[in-house]
Structure 1
Amino acid sequence: MSTKTDNPSHAVQPYFGVVPEFVTTRGGAVFSTTGTMWEVREAAARVRLHFDKLPPLSISFLTAFQATLIWYARNASLWHFRNMFQRASNLFEAKFDVTRTVIGEINAVDILNFRGSLGEAHEYKLGAVSGFLEQWHAMGYAGVTADAAHQLKQLRLKGNPKGVDVTTRHPTKGPFTDLELEALQHNLNRAYGNGDVSDAEYVLCWLFMALGQRPVQYAVLKVSDVAQSVDNDGIKTYYISVPRGKRRDSKPRKEFKVRALTPQIGKHVFRYAQKLKAQFEGKLKDPNAAPLFPSADIGEAPDGYAYHQTSAEIGIMLADALSRLNVVSERTGDFIKVGAKRFRTTVGTRAAQEGHSELVIAELLDHSDTQNVGVYVKSTAEIVERIDRAMAMYMAPLAQAFAGKLIAGPAEATRAFDPASEIRAPQITKSLKCMSSCGKNGPCGFLKPIACYTCGSFEPWLDGPHEMVLDYLLSDRDRLMKDADPRIASINDRTIFAVAEVVALCEESKAAREASNG
């Protein structure tokens, strides 16, 4: 086996380690060290290390650096291996910015300069690389000086702050508000019904919303992980066995946690899984081993993971599907920033608001302990105590909750003069007079007219009593806020904004009509 090495002399010359041509990672992947880029693919992860993008390093220093990285490839997770490369790269870049010369060592001055360049808020980045440098030195490779190793042991560094996006309710990185989540769900359902998102995208998005697991866990899911049971009364229950994924031994499907799915989600996931199974007949020896979210081609994945996407590709698939919905946040007035982590923190935050303990939240999010879930209990989602008419009218265009179309009257309805399409609200208006139309053919199990305002088939009439509906909902919310749980009181908030939007559209249309009539 050929190797890259400096010829060590134990008497005089420093030793810079050995870099074999091929390396086997702890997870069982084999990669080549030839060339300026190392590419490693394990079950649900692909890592690329670009040595050609580093600042100028001496050959000896580069060899020692790579030899240390190989120790991490063999003894740590693939992500830790990648992170050590990235953090060390940051240190090298900082030194090169100061010296503008080829890097041949890291000494104590470099450590202190790097710390100073980071500032107190980011000194955790030095903490992340310090273990790597100490390992480098401990293995006897030259390149990290003795004074640097001593300096690292003396440092007391602040760690990476945990849960800041959750505690601050960050509008683009933290958990979604109820309105944002409901808007995403509503628009996802509508897009799926219109054929604008695929089966795979629809199932993936709903699993992220319902379970809040990590992308790696969805990446290694297989058809066999989705199950259905039928009791003696014929009632079906749906389950999904979620691989734990984040394991130190790099075997993401070694342990599972069984999660029950709601009938609405479970039925669709099970049907989708069975369709995938049929598609992989003849492609795989066992079609039950097909990935739940397959790639277009077989790929270069290890045995057992043919056609599996990586966790990064799963994250891209999620973001791409939901970004196409163009849902606007009521907090920012801009399109909602979507990422896997936001769904995870939303599940934790909502569970805390519902009164669940840290142990329950840790179980939901598949944490091995409770040390990282306290942030959810300390920062529960905010519920606006009171929404008046002025706030509803202000928030309406931001919430974009109204999904139908305003029409002048029954003559413009999709199902013009069809008695079955007429919508009334006698409990609100105290009248049997029709106020709106429904453009959908077929049965509807939702409560009219409350649920109608957020439905894409809803066609409110220009002269309908929509202000009465708005006043009714606002009054009912105030009553429930006093007499019931705030979460119950706020359940119709998105509908309130939808009704307010209809009221505003009616006012604009009437004003335009009056202006045109002189």
Structure 2
Amino acid sequence: MLPKKIRLIDSKNFVNVDLDEMLLEGDAGRRNLRLRESSRYLAEKIAFVYWCVILNALNGKRKVSTVIRWVDEFTRFTKFLAGINSSPIEHISLGMFNKYSQDKNPSQIKLLRSLIKFWLKRKELGISQCLSDYISTSRSPKPRDTLEIQNSDIQERPFSVSTTRTILARLNNLYINSHFNAQDHLLWRLIISEAMRPTQLRLLIVGDIIDLEKRKIDNARVEINVPIIKQAGTSGRDYMLSTRLSEAVSRALIDHILHLEKIIGGPLLGTLPLFCLTKSSGRKTIIAKRSISIVDRIAATRTLISEGIDDLDDDDLFTRRFKHTKLTHLAIQGAPVEVLARAGFQTSITSLRHYTNLSDEAFADYEEKMESEHDFIADAFQGKIIDRDAATHPDSEHVIFDPNLDEGLGSCGDDPCDVFAPIGCYDCARFEAFRDGPHHVVLNFLQNRKNVAIKMRLPAASVSRDDHVISIVEGLMARIKNENGPS
């Protein structure tokens, strides 16, 4: 029996079952599902089973976007089979699956496999035993590694810092000259600087801005709650992460809010979508009740950005590339994995390596630029080794503590700057290292941080970022040991 209603994970709303057409609203937008049409190449019995499988998935088990992708891929699969054999499909065999998979990419195969796996878990008819055995005992094909993709396709590589600045300058120019309105300006600021996904942008509402009225008055940096998507079995707005925007993005957000208030003639409702400006049939700007299509807006505006920049096409500007760019440059600067995860709006560090891979060319360029710094690093420890009672400033305010804040490592010979202490102190000429200080604690701290970077498969630049400090600490400890003589 087919259910009469299903309850979607995304919206928590009930939807009446209609095999001819159902309007489904999820985190990724609104889609029409035509189940009867998608099963037109199936025999009657297997078509009914297919409907049951899809409706069961939609009924609180899978997100709308996942099921829609299943249906689209399954429709392509059955259409391919119908081209080989004109008779209706009565079952799905291993031979059918293999024939279709011959010229399909790993993502397509993985998508079809996931639908068949769900089908098999429901123990429904229609899947042959040979295909069932194959799916249960084999692994999905592995898509190309991110590094491999970036090395082979320049369009996939992270933007350089200079190119990113050029893109931002072009965006600023378009806004100043009124080619972009406040909404388009904010949209691209959030894509470039915050690396938000289109789905996240679509789910944002005015109420997500924390202390909106106060932010409008004092023009301070804005704090906003961002929906975290791609959580299994969880609607995007069920899990939010608070983040503080940069000054430039904050100004763009407040400008957009003020523009909306001017159009509506008063304060905004907290439930209003943040991106809601559109054009009526008379080309008049109006405020829609639902969020605009972010993907369509990106496609409509990115040409204006790219046409003002040499060697850049509009196809080069897509949200995933900006996420690669943001996290890669943060990794080069040595940001901890927890910072990278938060910057990418992720709840775990598992997939970070997919966003922080550098091409061999980019890494070689980075190493070349750092060559002069490496020469400087060779000078090693610049401070001096002293006994505790010989410190220039023996008071507690000048003591430099170990990372655990348990014991003093040394003292600052000047006014403490508090910059990257205690790690940054080791290559500072003002550092007075205590002869009996727990320098091994710092060494262990740095080596553990390096091991975590290796385990997470972060770029080589991030793995080796502390190597010069490790060398300095090791050299200092060796000097102290030589001065003290055999123990």
Please report how far the alpha carbon of residue 278 of structure 1 lies from its aligned counterpart in structure 2 after TM superposition: 5.8
* Equivalent AA in structure 1 for residue 26 of structure 2: E
Corresponding letter in the other structure for 2:340:
I
Contact (CA 8 Å) 1:327, 1:336: kept in 2 or not?
no
Q: Does 1:307 align with 2:286?
A: no
Q: State the partner residue of 1:91.
A: 77
TM norm structure 2? 0.64
How big is the shift at 1:290? 1.7
Question: Which residue among 237, 245, 253 is the counterpart of 1:269?
Answer: 253
Question: Any residues of structure 2 matched to 1:33-72 within 5 Å, and which?
Answer: 33-42=17-26, 44-51=28-35, 52=37, 56-72=41-57
Of residues 216, 222, 226, the one that matches 1:238 is: 222
Q: Which amino acid aligns with 1:135?
A: F
Q: 1:289 to 1:39 in 2, by over 3 A?
A: closer
Within 5 A, what are the aligned runs for 1:10-21? Answer: 18-21=1-4
Alignment partner for residue 298 of structure 2, among 318, 323, 330? 318
Please list the CA deviations of residues 247-278 of structure 1 after superposition, one character each: whole Å capped at 9, or x if unmatched.
33443223322222222331231242244356
Give the direction of change, closer, same or farther, for the CA distance of 1:329–1:94 in structure 2 (3 Å limit).
farther
Out of 227, 247, 260, the position equivalent to 2:244 is 260
Q: C-alpha separation between the residues in 2 aligned to 1:128 and 1:336?
A: 25
Question: Please, which runs of 5 or more residues in structure 1 have no aligned partner?
Answer: 1-17, 299-305, 387-484, 486-518
Matched with 2:115 is 132
- Deviation, structure 1 residue 364: 0.6
Three-state SS of the structure 2 residue aligned to 1:40 is strand
Give me the whole-angstrom Cα distance separating, in 2, the residues matched to 1:36 and 1:165: 43
On the 8 A contact 1:166/1:345 being kept in 2, the answer is: no
- Per the TM alignment, residue 334 of structure 1 is displaced from its structure 2 partner at its CA by 4.4
Instruction: Count residues in correspondence.
Output: 354
1:145 counterpart = 2:125: no
| Residue in structure 2 matching 1:288, options 267, 270, 274 | 270
Higher helix proportion, which one?
2
Root mean square deviation, CA, Å? 3.4
Q: Secondary structure at the match of 1:100?
A: coil
User: Do 1:228 and 1:270's aligned partners in 2 also have CA atoms closer than 8 Å?
Assistant: no
Q: Describe how 1:344-363 pairs up with structure 2 within 5 A.
A: 344-363=323-342
Q: Distance in 2 between matches of 1:336 and 1:157?
A: 29
Residues 228, 261 of structure 1: CA spacing in aligned structure 2 closer, same or farther, 3 A cutoff?
A: farther
Displacement after TM superposition at 1:76 (Å): 1.0
Asked if 1 retains the 8 angstrom alpha-carbon contact of 2:109 and 2:141, the reply is no
Structure 2 partner of 1:173: 156
Which one of 241, 244, 247 corresponds to residue 231 of structure 2?
247
Kindly indicate whether the alpha-carbon contact (under 8 Å) linking 1:239 and 1:261 is maintained by their aligned counterparts in 2.
Answer: yes
Task: Identify if the C-alpha distance between structure 1 residues 314 and 165 changes in structure 2 by more than 3 Å, giving closer, same or farther.
Answer: farther
The structural deviation recorded for 1:346 is: 1.5
Segments of 5+ residues of structure 2 without an aligned counterpart are 281-287, 370-464, 466-487
Q: Among residues 366, 373, 379, which one is paired with 2:352 in the alignment?
A: 373
Partner of 1:441: none
**Contact 2:46 / 2:90 at 8 angstroms: preserved in 1?**
yes
CA distance in 1, matches of 2:96, 2:154: 37
Contact 1:228 1:236 in 2 (8 A): no
Cross-structure match for 1:77? 63
CA–CA distance in 2 between the matches of 1:183 and 1:64? 54
Letter in 1 for 2:115: F
Q: Distance in 2 between matches of 1:98 and 1:21?
A: 35
**Aligned-pair distance for 1:333?**
6.0
8 Å contact from structure 1 (residues 44, 309) kept in 2: no
Q: Distance in 1 between matches of 2:219 and 2:278?
A: 36
Q: What is the DSSP-based 3-state SS (H/G/I as helix, E as strand, rest coil) of the residue aligned with 2:42?
A: coil
Query: Which amino acid in 1 is paired with 2:87?
Result: T
Q: Which residue of 1 aligns with 2:384?
A: none
Structure 2: how far apart are the matches of 1:297 and 1:40? 24
Q: Indicate which of 94, 101, 104 corresponds to 2:87.
A: 101
What is the letter of the counterpart of residue 307 of structure 2?
V
The verdict on how the C-alpha distance between 1:194 and 1:117 changes in structure 2, with shifts beyond 3 A counting, is closer
Deviation per CA, 1:104-162: give whole Å up to 9, x if none: 210232233233343xxx34533332232233234343221233212322333323335
- Contact 2:41–2:79 (8 Å) recurs in 1: no
CA distance in 2: counterparts of 1:246 and 1:379, whole angstroms: 24
Q: Provide Cα deviations, 1:459-483, integer angstroms capped at 9, x if missing partner.
A: xxxxxxxxxxxxxxxxxxxxxxxxx
- 1:211 deviation in Å? 0.7
Q: Match for residue 6 of structure 2?
A: 23
